Chain A
Amino acid sequence: MFDTDVFSKTSKTRPVSDVLHIIILLIIIKLLKTFGLFITYDLLKSYHVVLILFLATLFTSICLLFIQKPFSSFRPNKILICRLIKYTICLTIIRLLWLFGLTLCGPLRTILLYEHSDIVIIACFQALFSSSSIGPQGQTSRIRGVVFFILAVLAIFAFDNDDSRQNIDHPEGHLHHRFFAHIFYQLTSLIGVADHKGGVILLLIALFFRCGLNSWSKKLVIDVGGQKKFYAITTCLSTICLIPMSFIILLFNNLFPDSIDSIRSTFQTTISTTITSSLFDNISSLIIPIILITLFLFILDFYVEQLAIIKLDRIRTFRYGTLTMIFSSFIISFIWVKTIRITSNNIWFGRMMQIEEHELSGGVVFAVIMFAFATDLLISPIKQRSGAFIGYNQEGVPLFNLTHQKSQSLLLILKSSLRDILAESDSRRIFYFLCINLMFTFVELLYGAWTNSLGLLSDGFHMLFDCTALVVGLYAALMSRWKPTRVFSYGYGRVEVLSGFVNGLFLVVVAFFVFYEAIGRLFEPPEINTNRLLFVSVAGFAVNMIGIFSFSHAHAHAHGGGGGGSCPMSQPTPTKEQHHHGHSHDHSHSHSHGSSSHDHEHSHGSNEKSSHHGHSHALTDNANMRGVFLHVLADTLGSVGVIISSLLIQYFGWNISDPICSLFISIMIFLSVIPFLKESAMTLLLQTPSNIQYEILDRILKLDQVQSYSDEHFWNLSSSMTVGTIHIQIANDGDEQRVTAQVQTILKEAQIQNVAIQVEKQAFFNHLNGLNSALGQLASSQRTFSHR
């Protein structure tokens, strides 16, 4: 008896030709195991799960006691025994789940779902939950494997219509294990899935549970002294575990004779009179398959797998084993179904077979392929690279990143980000409104799910969708406060403008889709149930009004504060008010006037212009907040539209008012977002702000010794900051520092904070000519000197 260590890596790379016999042995054993599972399935149709498992483990433990003699050199202490018992109970439960799943799903699906090695499952979880540690190349294939795995499970779960079983209205009546089954069926009917789907869930639970148990028991295996000994002991213990259960089951079967036993016995007595002795038949039909099961499933499989793990390596063993089982089970089930169809008439419980059979379907075939791919991808070892290559340092030595990504605890991150959010008024406001919105959404969703109302549910999803705009705004508001880095040399202030732009685009998309839907409904207005619609829309309107008031207040505040200094425009608040008022006014009459949208546009245009004339600095106070505000405004418009249309439908029965309302709303959203979009786009395009007047440049020109300027670039970095660069040509006897300081002062007065001034003389160009440098970009400034 050689002690086996599961983790032995001594024979990692052995050529295939050396270990070919082992591989063949493994494949044969796996084939036999598949066969055994099919036998078990047939057996389970007529006997109880616990009984079968008990008998099988009993035989197994008898065999193992003879082969292994586990208790001969076993010195147990109390703790070890306690752990062993715990393990055994878990193992027994898993096996019961597995066999129960087998009765529900049939052997093919059981093999597909359950016969995965632990490596595959662990790799799945690794790929899903720890993304940073593995190199990018291995990661993609792993992720693909996980996706295939999930697809396969999904295919079995959803696309595998076991139609033959659906038409039985009370399937547990035919099954043997009445009590458990009844509870299980009640559970599954509570969740609302078919029973074979329930079996899929059971098998998956058993699979994950097994993986967890196996990784938990690694130390226990070593403590006991080897895998084989451990296996023998736990099997014996499991047999002991199962004794009381099987007695109870037998008792139950005798107490309630309405189970399948009686049906079968009536069959035997009435139909199969040709069989001489029912008792003898019973024993032979029970004992021989159970011995086969014991051999195939519990003994041979285990020993050969242990052997293969030593001779081959773990990965190869599991790969060949799983693939063999998947494909062989596929083929065998194909044959099995055929043969049973042929023989179903002359077998004595053939009628039942016909009902119970799990047929092949497209979903299963798809799942077989997907599982094969997934196993192959997940089990293949990742090319281990210790540390990621970053680049070269200045001496040309390659640099590697050996440290893994520092992972903070989730709680800490949440805490710090919450503190950041609450630190400033903008983000705080967005955050509070987001909380209100989310709360409303969840109440709506819960209520919708409770009352089973589709309108509420879809409105809830819509709200959730809208919340993403708020989340974008919140994140941008947070991000804009980050410190400048090497890459973001101007800081993150521009993120606000960009997020405002994205929010604007978001609204454009929303407007487009609303328009599209409204056009579709205009031709065939659907019947709308206005029962709860009015209440929900009024509630949504109230929530959005809170947002509008809080955000518009923020606007007014920012206007007043941001003006500062020489800002002559001190009445932005009324314009805002007017702007808002214009909206609501417009809206309330939108269904009667056709031209109101025009009106609206006009008011907007004038608004825009007046603000531009006055002080464009204050107008773009915070693009992010404006974007969020517009979004909330659009939502409010939407709920107002719903209120109006539902009122119209309720009192006048005009079903067409709904699409017309949404048409108007979409147009209004679009028109209100256009100026904002244009403005933020101009900021992104580095438009020269309109408050940079010629006068400033004139003043620069009038400075002493300044001859000309060129390459003047001024742009708004964000709402509050203007950046400028300029080249200035001065006379040869001028003093650079003096001119620089003067120009800097002039530009500072024009509220340009971040200035770079390049002062050039004739000497500069002479030097550059001497250095043979490229003068292409200096053409305009050089001209000043070249024509003197």
Chain B
Amino acid sequence: MGKSTSVLTSIFYLVKSSHSRSTIIITITTLLICITVFTMAGQANSMALQAYCSLCIFDLLFIGTALLSAWIMENNNTKVRQKMQNSNNIDNNSINNSTSLFIPTQTITTFSYGTARFEVLAVFTSTMLSILGAFFILKESIEKYLEDEIIHTEYLMLSSILTYIIHMIVIYFVRNQAFDHVIAASSSSWLQEHVSDMFQSVCHYIPGLSRLLLPRINPLALLCWCGLAIVFSDSFLLKMGYGHFVDTLSSLLMAFMTFGTMVPMAIYSGKILLQTTPAPMIGQLDKCLHEASRLDGVLEFRHEHFWALSFGTLVGSLHVRCRRDADEQLVLAHVWNKLANVVQILTIHVFKDDWLRRQTHTFMQPQTGNPVLSNNPSTYNGFVVVT
């Protein structure tokens, strides 16, 4: 409960702060337009329009993601500030009593990696919801085709233009770091690919347009443009009296375009959620690991886990088997030094084979009778483990 209230307060904070006021206004207008447009789509009884208007719902999700990433940024900033203050305090305290350091703050936070991963989940959720929505619309349009109802074309133009305007405003005027990153980093959708291919051949004939046409197009804007074209042609054809088959066809087309646009983004964010190594990082990581494995004292690497925490943050853990006579801290420092530039949050587990034999040989271990600790975990080193 406490968490949700804190979320609420941060939302209130967002409302109050001046820099996000425009976002709030946009949110409210989007909500209103969403409701009106959906009532219109329900009245018009046209699946193509409904498919196009589901962009509005995606806009709401988009704004939600934007707010979330803004909140995360704010959170991080405050955390850094707190940390700074803490360290200052500690500096002050340490002069007074250094023993306080040895009681570490007992904060096992619920999200030990911070809230950066929220963004990824938000992007995944919003893309996945629109994919599933498109899927639902696919099914609905087939059902509608069977039902064979009359379509009122008078609403088509108005609501599609409304959707278009609000979508464009949301995409270009709401700052959304998470989606910006995903759009830039994910592979391009089939729609983008085809459009860029077409533009390339256009530029083949008219080279002057290359500055305008050749750069990568925002897939969401592209989806909006194509959807608008489809709805317009749909309404035109409906007015010409081609029957509702046109409507079904164009809603199918819309659904497929939504699929095509959203699937690469969903795959990109879903892969991050699955804790995988991002493909562009593999080469760099391999190079670093290769260098690190040549270091003095390092025998081999095991259990290499490198995965993306959020957009652009890499987390890694690694087991290093080193030579029995090597200085562990030195090995640790060197391997760390190699990898820390690539991996932001790194844990290196250094281990040696048969270290107990040497231990028993040198120290003779008077307290514990049983040197094989793993077999009897309940007592060792005078420390009783309560089970």
Partner of B110, one of A688, A725, A773: A688
A738 within 8 A of B: yes
Q: Which residues of B contact A711 (CB under 8 A)?
A: 345, 347
Q: Which residues of A contact B346 (CB under 8 A)?
A: 777
Q: How far is the CA of A123 from the CA of B328 in the complex (A)?
A: 63
Q: Which residues of B contact A186 (CB under 8 A)?
A: none
B344 near A783 (CB under 8 angstroms)?
no
A714 near B146 (CB under 8 angstroms)?
no
A410 within 8 A of B: no
Query: Closest residue of chain B to A516, judged by CB?
Result: B38
Q: Which of B80-111 contact A (CB under 8 A)?
A: 83, 87, 90-91, 94, 98, 101-102, 104, 106, 108-111
- Asked whether A767 and B347 contact (CB < 8 A) given A391-B283, A488-B276, A713-B113, the answer is no
A708 near B104 (CB under 8 angstroms)?
yes
B307 near A686 (CB under 8 angstroms)?
no
Q: How far is the CA of A758 from the CA of B348 in the complex (A)?
A: 5
A468 within 8 A of B: yes
- Asked whether A703 and B381 contact (CB < 8 A) given A494-B273, A758-B349, the answer is yes
Q: Which of A486-527 contact B (CB under 8 A)?
A: 486-490, 492, 494-495, 498, 502, 505-506, 508-510, 513, 516, 520
Tell me how far the C-beta of B49 lies from the nearest C-beta in chain A, rounded to whole angstroms. 14
Q: How far is the CA of A711 from the CA of B113 in the complex (A)?
A: 9
The proximity string for B residues 301-345 relative to A, scoring 1 for CB distances below 8 Å and 0 otherwise, is 001111101000000011100000001111011101100110011
A141 near B117 (CB under 8 angstroms)?
no
Q: How far is the CA of A23 from the CA of B377 in the complex (A)?
A: 90
Q: Which residues of B contact A748 (CB under 8 A)?
A: 377
Tell me how far the C-beta of A492 lies from the nearest C-beta in chain B, rounded to whole angstroms. 8
- Asked whether A783 and B90 contact (CB < 8 A) given A505-B129, A726-B347, the answer is yes
B147 near A742 (CB under 8 angstroms)?
no
Q: Which residues of B contact A774 (CB under 8 A)?
A: 340-341
Q: Which residues of B contact A687 (CB under 8 A)?
A: 110-111
A566 near B387 (CB under 8 angstroms)?
yes
B293 within 8 A of A: no
B347 near A758 (CB under 8 angstroms)?
yes
Q: Which of A30-38, A309-317, A430-438, A453-461 contacts B (4 or more CB under 8 A)?
A: A453-461
Q: How far is the CA of A208 from the CA of B282 in the complex (A)?
A: 47
A489 near B305 (CB under 8 angstroms)?
yes
B279 within 8 A of A: yes
Q: Which of B16-24, B130-138, B220-228 contacts A (4 or more CB under 8 A)?
A: B130-138
Tell me how far the C-beta of A391 lies from the nearest C-beta in chain B, rounded to whole angstroms. 7
Count of B interface residues, CB-CB < 8 Å: 95
B283 near A159 (CB under 8 angstroms)?
no
Q: Which residues of A contact B218 (CB under 8 A)?
A: none
Q: Which residues of A contact B121 (CB under 8 A)?
A: 681, 684-685
Q: Which residues of A contact B359 (CB under 8 A)?
A: 735, 737-738
- Asked whether A699 and B385 contact (CB < 8 A) given A144-B197, A788-B98, the answer is yes
A784 within 8 A of B: yes
Q: Which residues of B contact A742 (CB under 8 A)?
A: 373, 380-381, 383
Q: How far is the CA of A454 from the CA of B133 in the complex (A)?
A: 23
B207 within 8 A of A: no
Tell me how far the C-beta of B113 lies from the nearest C-beta in chain A, rounded to whole angstroms. 5
B213 within 8 A of A: no
A725 near B317 (CB under 8 angstroms)?
yes
A701 near B282 (CB under 8 angstroms)?
no
Q: How far is the CA of A760 from the CA of B330 in the complex (A)?
A: 10
Q: Which of A227-244 contact B (CB under 8 A)?
A: none
Q: Which residues of B contact A116 (CB under 8 A)?
A: none
- Of A161, A489, A704, the most chain B CB neighbours within 10 A belong to A489
B341 near A702 (CB under 8 angstroms)?
no
A140 within 8 A of B: yes
Q: How far is the CA of A745 from the CA of B240 in the complex (A)?
A: 77
B212 within 8 A of A: no
- Asked whether A140 and B197 contact (CB < 8 A) given A513-B140, A685-B118, A697-B108, the answer is yes
Q: How far is the CA of A703 from the CA of B329 in the complex (A)?
A: 20
Q: Which residues of B approach A to under 8 Å, CB–CB?
A: 38, 42, 83, 87, 90-91, 94, 98, 101-102, 104, 106, 108-113, 117-118, 121, 125, 128-129, 132-133, 135-136, 139-140, 142-143, 146-147, 190, 193-194, 197-198, 237, 240, 242, 245-246, 270, 273-277, 279, 282-283, 290, 303-307, 309, 317-319, 327-330, 332-334, 336-337, 340-341, 344-352, 355-356, 359, 373-374, 377, 380-383, 385, 387
Q: Which residues of A approach B to under 8 Å, CB–CB?
A: 137, 140-141, 143-144, 158-159, 161, 362, 391, 394, 454, 457-458, 461-462, 464-465, 468, 486-490, 492, 494-495, 498, 502, 505-506, 508-510, 513, 516, 520, 566, 681, 684-688, 692, 694, 697, 699, 701-704, 707-715, 717, 725-727, 735-738, 740-742, 744-746, 748-749, 754-761, 763-764, 767-768, 770-771, 773-774, 777, 779, 783-784, 787-788
Q: List 10 A-B contacts (CB under 8 A).
A: A489-B275, A490-B307, A494-B275, A741-B373, A742-B381, A759-B350, A768-B336, A770-B333, A777-B340, A788-B98
Having A489-B304, A740-B349, one finds 17 other A-B pairs with CB under 8 Å, namely: A140-B190, A458-B146, A461-B146, A464-B139, A489-B306, A509-B129, A510-B136, A687-B111, A688-B112, A692-B108, A745-B385, A754-B303, A759-B350, A767-B334, A768-B337, A774-B340, A777-B344
